[in-house]
Amino acid sequence: MRKVIQVLVLLFLVVSCKTATPTIITSKKEAEKKGVYTYTEKTRSKTVTSSDKNAKTAEVKKSDKKKRKVIDNDVPESDIIVSSENESYMAEQLTNSALDYLGVRYRGGGTTREGMDCSGLVTAVFNSFDMQLPRSSNDMAKVGERLDFKDIKRGDLVFFKTNGKRIINHVGLVVEVVEDEIKFIHSSTSSGVIISSTKEPYYERSFVQANRVVN
């Protein structure tokens, strides 16, 4: 009887060990096949496949290429401003340079911001663009093309005989032409570098000629 009980106990232990052995799952795919693991279609839709990634990458590259094309075709704005189609770029720059000296005091023989005379102003302006002119206004009047009054433009030089002088002794640079009025920048003995007009009686009487030094 005792042996029978021992045999029954042994059989019970063997059966218990077999049912307690766990099932080994190596992947979610395998677990799904065995009914141990499941996931919904919504979860599946969030799964990004390699083909989806490739498509998205291609789309980004295409977008970047399009952006680069726009940048490559972009044309920068010009920084050259000319007030009239009939005026040369250099004439415009000479005029702008001269206007930068407005207010500088008069000094005989001077060519700097410390002081300058009429020909000194013109000399300083042209020198800043590496163009050499004679130092005196009388000699400057011999350079370039002499103009008729109606042909005078911005950037040209105008010459005068002031104070009853028999030779040219004053020069200015044209900054504006309004019909038959010429406005010019020059250095006067009384006020330094200023803008005057040929409509002023003093300069209307003393005007002699105008020359174009640059085209």
Residue-number span of the structural domain to which 152 is assigned:
89-212
Query: Does 23 score more than 90 pLDDT?
Result: no
Identify how many contiguous H helices and E strands the chain contains and give both numbers: 8, 8
Mean pLDDT on 31-47: 49
Residues present in the chain in total: 215
Task: Supply the CATH number for residue 125's domain.
Answer: 3.90.1720.10
- 136 domain-assigned: yes
195, 185 contact by CB (below 8 A)? yes
Q: How far apart are CA 145 and CA 149, in angstroms?
A: 12
- How confident is the model over 193-211, as pLDDT tens digits? 999 999 999 999 999 999 9
Q: Which residues are catalytic?
A: 118, 170, 186
Any bridge partners for residue 183, and if so which?
176, 197
Residue 106 DSSP symbol: B
Domain count, the chain: 1
- How confident is the model over 80-130, as pLDDT tens digits? 344 444 458 899 999 999 999 999 999 999 999 999 999 999 999 999 999
27, 14 contact by CB (below 8 A)? no
